[in-house]
């Protein structure tokens, strides 16, 4: 049997009972469509989380006091209260570790901040000018903290856009105004550009002040809460991480690395953790949708078994006029694969449409990747083979004499 004949026979059989073929195909359409849509939600979430982590800065290492609880966890036990890291540690990293482009120490804590008649609770970050480069902070109005202001301990503040909105109203002019942090007056000298993202860890709900000022008026002591280290390039990150760890262990006179009173987090680790979380989420969504795909596949098998029984005499005739076992197997397999492949293509289109609907109506970021489309297509073809094989073998195994007699 040539491919052309196989195609014609398949077309003729499927169009002979259009309603049944269509309904069976619908099972696959829904299955593939929901897989595409669900995975797009998962991948969209993954993409937006990665983008947010990367907006922290590039090639970034974060040195924080207190031991990390586990690999990649970025909440450490002593954060904020532990006082194991100092400005001298930061300077030592800048001077002694090779392939470091910038180092930015910070002393931050949440404070109640008031302006005229308003108040908000926000993160106050005492830092130095290099923070702007390391953490990718851009200034929208006014200017960022200068070295001179850090030297003199000026009481100036740069507001994040969310903090500005909370204190002065949305988009209000605030440069030159005064705010009070912990009962100390600060003059607003700038507002940063919005980075996007809301809720926990927003980069926009922050107030930046000079590090020395923060230590003197707000956090007290000379400890820092985080040292952000920017490696010269991505390849150097692991080396820099090792060097920073060795240097600080030495400075803190700790022999056993497991007893370290600080932790060095690699930005890539943070991304990896977040990715593994969203990956699990994607997998879960995909698995739920996969169940409907499985049900669709069983629908195909059911229909094919019915068809084989109905067409017993036809199978007998085909065998009598010279069809071999393989010809019969191929014919029925081609029918089920045609159903799942056509259903798969329609399902991919509908899933894509569904994903864009979820984005536009639900406001959830979705992303349909080429790999998920190819995967869905492959899976639908594989379902055709897997669920069509048994009915096809049953058809080809029919005894022609009994098949011809079948009533």
Binding site for other proteins (CB under 8 A): 1-2, 4-5, 9, 12, 16, 313-314, 316-327, 400-401, 404
Quick one: 173 or 326, whose CB is closer to other proteins? 326
| Relative orientation angle of helices 325-362 and 3-16, to the nearest 10 degrees | 60
Quick one: 18 or 253, whose CB is closer to other proteins? 18
- Min dist CB 399 to other proteins, Å, is 9
Quick one: 151 or 399, whose CB is closer to other proteins? 399
- Min dist CB 322 to other proteins, Å, is 2
Write the CB contacts of 75 (distance below 8 Å, at least 6 apart in sequence): 69
- Min dist CB 10 to other proteins, Å, is 12
Write the CB contacts of 193 (distance below 8 Å, at least 6 apart in sequence): 137, 138, 139, 140, 161
- Min dist CB 321 to other proteins, Å, is 4
Quick one: 110 or 324, whose CB is closer to other proteins? 324
Quick one: 323 or 339, whose CB is closer to other proteins? 323
Other CB atoms within a 10 A radius of the CB of residue 221 amount to 10
Comparing CA positions, the residue from 305, 294, 309, 315 lying closest to residue 382 is 294
DSSP state of 216: I
- Min dist CB 326 to other proteins, Å, is 8
Instruction: Answer positive or negative: Cα dihedral of 299, 304, 305, 311.
Output: positive
CA distances from 61 to 64, 78, 81, 232 (A): 10, 18, 20, 11
> How far apart, in whole angstroms, are the C-alpha atoms of residue 248 and residue 229?
13
- Give 322: exposed, middle or buried? Use CB within 10 Å, 0-12, 13-18, 19+: exposed
- Min dist CB 338 to other proteins, Å, is 17
Quick one: 4 or 183, whose CB is closer to other proteins? 4
> How far apart, in whole angstroms, are the C-alpha atoms of residue 44 and residue 54?
15
Quick one: 195 or 318, whose CB is closer to other proteins? 318
- Min dist CB 339 to other proteins, Å, is 18
How far out from the chain centre does Cα 83 lie?
33
> How far apart, in whole angstroms, are the C-alpha atoms of residue 135 and residue 127?
11
């Amino acid at each position: 049997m040539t491919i052309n004949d196989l195609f014609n026979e398949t077309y003729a059989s499927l169009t002979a009972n259009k309603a049944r073929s269509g309904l069976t195909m619908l099972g696959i359409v829904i299955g593939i469509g929901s897989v595409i849509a669900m995975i797009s939600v998962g991948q969209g979430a993954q993409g937006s989380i990665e983008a947010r982590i990367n907006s922290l800065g590039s090639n970034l290492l974060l040195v924080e006091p207190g031991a990390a609880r586990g690999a990649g966890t970025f909440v450490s036990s002593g954060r904020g209260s532990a006082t194991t890291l100092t400005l001298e540690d930061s300077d030592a990293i800048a001077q002694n570790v090779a392939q470091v482009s910038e180092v930015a120490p910070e002393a931050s804590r949440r404070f109640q901040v008031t302006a005229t008649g308003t108040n908000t609770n926000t993160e106050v970050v005492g830092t130095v000018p290099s923070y702007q480069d390391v953490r990718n902070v851009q200034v929208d109005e006014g200017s960022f903290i200068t070295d001179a202001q850090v030297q003199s301990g000026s009481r100036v503040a740069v507001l994040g856009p969310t903090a500005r909105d909370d204190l002065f109203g949305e988009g209000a002019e605030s440069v030159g105004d005064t705010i009070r942090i912990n009962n100390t007056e600060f003059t607003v000298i700038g507002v940063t550009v919005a980075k996007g993202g809301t809720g926990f860890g927003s980069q926009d709900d922050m107030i930046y002040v000079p590090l020395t000022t923060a230590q003197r008026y707000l956090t007290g002591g000379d400890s820092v809460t985080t040292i952000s280290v920017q490696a010269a390039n991505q390849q150097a990150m692991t080396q820099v991480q090792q060097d920073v760890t060795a240097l600080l262990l030495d400075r803190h006179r700790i022999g056993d690395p497991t007893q370290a009173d600080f932790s060095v987090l690699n930005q890539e680790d943070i991304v990896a953790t977040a990715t593994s979380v969203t990956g699990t989420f994607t997998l879960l969504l995909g698995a739920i949708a996969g169940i409907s795909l499985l049900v669709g596949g069983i629908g195909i098998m059911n229909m094919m078994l019915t068809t084989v029984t109905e067409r017993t005499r036809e199978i007998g005739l085909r065998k009598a006029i010279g069809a071999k076992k393989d010809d019969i197997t191929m014919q029925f397999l081609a029918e089920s694969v045609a159903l799942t492949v056509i259903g798969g293509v329609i399902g991919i289109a509908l899933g894509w449409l569904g994903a864009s609907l979820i984005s536009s109506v639900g406001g959830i970021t979705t992303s349909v990747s080429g790999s998920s489309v190819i995967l869905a297509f492959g899976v639908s073809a594989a379902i055709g083979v897997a669920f069509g094989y048994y009915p096809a073998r049953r058809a080809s195994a029919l005894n022609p004499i009994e098949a011809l007699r079948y009533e």
